[in-house]
Chains A and B, each alone.
Chain A
Amino acid sequence: EDKVVQSPLSLVVHEGDTVTLNCSYEVTNFRSLLWYKQEKKAPTFLFMLTSSGIEKKSGRLSSILDKKELFSILNITATQTGDSAVYLCAVLNYGGATNKLIFGTGTLLAVQP
Chain B
Amino acid sequence: DAGVIQSPRHEVTEMGQEVTLRCKPISGHNSLFWYRQTMMRGLELLIYFNNNVPIDDSGMPEDRFSAKMPNASFSTLKIQPSEPRDSAVYFCASSLAGRGSYNEQFFGPGTRLTVL
Q: Interface residues, chain A, CB within 8 Å of chain B?
A: 31-32, 41-45, 48, 88, 90, 92, 94, 97-106
- Interchain CA distance A20-B107 in the complex, whole Å: 25
Closest chain B residue to A42, Cβ basis: B107
**Residues of the B chain whose Cβ atoms lie less than 8 Å from the Cβ of A101:** 33, 45, 105
CB < 8 Å neighbour of A88 from B31, B33, B43, B50: B43
Given contacts A42-B108, A103-B43, are A32 and B56 in contact (CB under 8 A)? no
- Interchain CA distance A97-B31 in the complex, whole Å: 12
Q: Is B61 an interface residue (CB 8 A)?
A: no
Complex contact B109–A42 (CB within 8 A): yes
Given contacts A41-B110, A105-B41, are A100 and B102 in contact (CB under 8 A)? no
**Residues of the B chain whose Cβ atoms lie less than 8 Å from the Cβ of A98:** 55-56
Scan residues 17-46 of chain B and give those whose CB is less than 8 A from a CB of chain A: 31, 33, 35, 41-45
Q: List 25 A-B contacts (CB under 8 A).
A: A42-B110, A44-B107, A45-B104, A45-B105, A48-B104, A88-B42, A90-B43, A92-B102, A94-B102, A97-B55, A98-B55, A98-B56, A99-B50, A99-B102, A100-B33, A100-B48, A101-B45, A101-B105, A102-B45, A103-B35, A103-B43, A103-B44, A104-B42, A105-B41, A105-B42
Q: Interface residues, chain B, CB within 8 Å of chain A?
A: 31, 33, 35, 41-45, 48, 50, 55-56, 91, 97, 102, 104-105, 107-110
**Residues of the A chain whose Cβ atoms lie less than 8 Å from the Cβ of B48:** 99-100
**Residues of the B chain whose Cβ atoms lie less than 8 Å from the Cβ of A88:** 42-43
- Interchain CA distance A99-B104 in the complex, whole Å: 12
- Interchain CA distance A88-B48 in the complex, whole Å: 20
